[in-house]
């Protein structure tokens, strides 16, 4: 469930020094192919699509300063919470996460923002399942989105996907196979599997684990 509108969210996003708003398309689209210049280094770039309140990607950036991260979120009312969380964390822990940027945008526009082979890894965490069959192409693991990922991912790039929704997970496995990708490190209960080592939880994941819900997880890559 998404947050309700947050008063002043748009203004906070516009004034954030580490956030780019899709409303400013000329600024955002001009970054295509030159994100390493924006980060001022040649480190690999990882993105999270639908980052929510930012707990996952902020902690990744904190732990891995040698990797550049971009968090993508289309809802202003959610993104503003990530901005606030980051600001509070940087102040309390005296951090400066120069390797992390946020973008407010719809994932449909990935092709306009990232160049061919520009991204090294994609995280999809607890994405909207879009349960109605007529909305299948909107699911972030659909063949339509896999085609977009195929374009922006480097040859050795991969997707890391987590969800509590078994139907979405099973759908994703089919889409991955039929799109010519390979699914690897598959588990239907992450927190009881060998793949839990190094796992960073999202806000939703923490809640679901407390409720005793199993978390499905996989990685996908191309031959």
Which residues constitute the domain of residue 208?
12-222
Residue 73 falls inside a structural domain: yes
| Per-residue model confidence (pLDDT) at position 1 | 42
Q: Write down the pLDDT at residue 3.
A: 47
Looking up residue 174, the CATH number of its domain turns out to be 3.40.50.150
Mean pLDDT of the region 111-130: 97
Buried/exposed 139-157: b ≥16 CB within 10 Å, e otherwise: bbbbbebbebbeebbeeeb
For residue 207, tell me if it sits in a domain: yes
Q: Is the pLDDT of residue 122 over 50?
A: yes
Per-residue pLDDT band at 4 (split at 50, 70, 90): low
DSSP string, 5-49: P-TTHHHHHHH-TTEEETTSHHHHHTTTT-HHHHHTS---EEEEE
**Encoded tokens for 132:** 């109605």
* Domain assignment present for 6: no
| Mean pLDDT along residues 116-123 | 98
Distance CA 32, CA 104 (A): 15
Give the residue-averaged pLDDT of 84-104.
Answer: 95
Assess whether pLDDT exceeds 80 at residue 2: no
Mean pLDDT of 128-143: 97
189 is catalytic: no
Query: Is 193 within a domain?
Result: yes
CA distance 204 to 193: 19
User: Residue 7: is its pLDDT beyond 80?
Assistant: no
Based on the structure, what is the number of domains in the chain? 1
Average pLDDT over residues 77-89: 94
Helices 55-63 and 76-93 pack at an angle, to 10 degrees, of 40
The answer to whether residue 7 is domain-embedded is no
Query: Is 2 within a domain?
Result: no
The answer to whether position 1 is within a domain reads no
* Of 19-23, 145-149, 151-155, 192-196, the least confident: 19-23
In a domain, 4, yes or no: no
- What is the C-alpha separation between 146 and 220, in angstroms, rounded? 10
* pLDDT at residue 9, rounded to an integer: 82
Contact predicate 206/162, CB 8 Å: no
Q: What is the mean pLDDT of the chain?
A: 95
pTM of the model: 0.95
> Does 155 score more than 90 pLDDT?
yes
- Mean pLDDT lowest among 22-31, 149-158, 181-190: 22-31
pLDDT of the residue at 171: 98
Catalytically annotated residue among 23, 24, 128, 170? 128
């Amino acid at each position: 469930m998404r947050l309700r509108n947050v008063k002043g969210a748009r203004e906070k996003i516009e004034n954030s020094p580490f956030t780019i708003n899709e409303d400013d398309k000329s600024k955002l689209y001009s970054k295509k192919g030159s994100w390493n210049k924006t980060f001022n280094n040649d480190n690999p770039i990882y993105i999270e699509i639908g980052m929510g309140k930012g707990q996952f990607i902020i902690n990744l950036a904190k732990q891995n300063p040698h990797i550049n991260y971009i968090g993508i979120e289309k809802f202003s009312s959610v993104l503003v919470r990530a901005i606030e969380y980051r600001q509070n964390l940087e102040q309390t822990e005296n951090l400066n996460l120069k390797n992390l940027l946020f973008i407010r945008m719809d994932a449909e526009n990935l092709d306009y923002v990232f160049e061919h082979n520009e991204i090294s890894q994609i995280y999809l965490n607890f994405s909207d399942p879009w349960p109605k069959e007529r909305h299948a192409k909107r699911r972030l693991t659909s063949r339509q989105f896999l085609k977009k990922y195929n374009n922006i991912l480097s040859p050795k790039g991969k997707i890391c996907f987590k969800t509590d929704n078994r139907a979405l997970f099973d759908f994703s496995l089919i889409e991955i196979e039929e799109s010519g990708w390979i699914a690897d490190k598959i588990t239907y209960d992450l927190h009881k599997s060998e793949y839990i080592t190094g796992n960073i939880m999202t806000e939703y994941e923490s809640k679901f684990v407390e409720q005793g819900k199993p978390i499905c997880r996989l990685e996908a890559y191309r031959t």
